[in-house]
Amino acid sequence: MTLNLFDDAEQGRVWQEAICPGAVVLRHFALRYEVEIFAALDDIARQAPFRHMVTPGGFRMSAAMTSCGEFGWTADRTGYRYITTDPETGLPWPPMPETLGRLAVAAAMSAGYPEFVPDACLINRYAIGAKMSLHQDKDEPDLGAPIVSVSLGLPANFQFGGPRREDKTQRVQLTHGDVVVWGGPARLFFHGVLPIKNGLHPSTGEFRINLTFRKVSK
């Protein structure tokens, strides 16, 4: 189902596409916030630089990551978890900029999740060839809140499956400004990103930036 949300004189039409019950794509939704988003990202990266984390199995993640908000996500040999301080600096994660929180709340509301207030934003930077294997977002104590995922820069092939890793996946093409929101019956569905293809985007160069907003505290 495709649902027109609104028309923006500068950014064009914004519309909604269903992926499955509980999951939707909001096409072009983040474009209205673009200038403010990139200013916020520059400030966050100065305080908490991007880094390539290592999984408990010893594999270096191909996407570089940082965080902002009350909680940040980290991975190392001991596991995956949310923490309140950046392990590289020992300082609290940068506060979530008001613009980012406003974007996440507006996207969640448009997708049918009016109670969402994020307290963590994970920021992934994908170089050409980087990917994210199929996984579930299940480290959050509050699984009743949705995930809000914002795509910027180079396009990506987003895979969205079901509650089991072996379930068939859909491939959803995401472009600059698209926002995916999933929760409810789709909250624990497996998802991932196929390797980023060669390209150059005027806003991000040879990178794709992905912001995922979560509710960690109960």
pLDDT in tens, 63-97: 999 999 999 999 988 889 999 999 999 999 999 99
Instruction: Provide the residue ranges of all domains of the chain, joining segments of one domain with +.
Output: 2-211
DSSP 55: -
- Reported as a single tens digit per residue, the pLDDT across 92-117 is 999 999 999 999 999 999 999 999 99
Q: Say if CB 70 and CB 84 are below 8 A apart.
A: yes
Note the pLDDT of residue 5.
61
- Quickly count: other Cβ atoms within 10 Å of residue 136's Cβ: 15
Phi then psi for residue 103, to 5 deg, are -60, -45
Nearest to 213 by CA among 100, 57, 97: 100
Torsion of CA 143, 62, 26, 106, to 10 degrees: 60
- The domain defined by 2-211 folds into Jelly Rolls (2.60.120)
- pTM strictly above 0.75: yes
Note the pLDDT of residue 166.
96
CA angle 41, 189, 104 (to 5 degrees): 30
Note the pLDDT of residue 10.
45
- Reported as a single tens digit per residue, the pLDDT across 147-165 is 999 999 999 999 999 999 9
Q: Say if CB 25 and CB 174 are below 8 A apart.
A: yes
Per-residue b/e over 59-70, b at no fewer than 16 CB within 10 Å? eebbbbbbbbbb
Note the pLDDT of residue 142.
83
Give the Å distances, CA to CA, from 99 to 34, 39, 84.
10, 10, 21
Q: Is the pLDDT of residue 172 over 50?
A: yes
Note the pLDDT of residue 13.
86
Note the pLDDT of residue 9.
39
Note the pLDDT of residue 48.
98
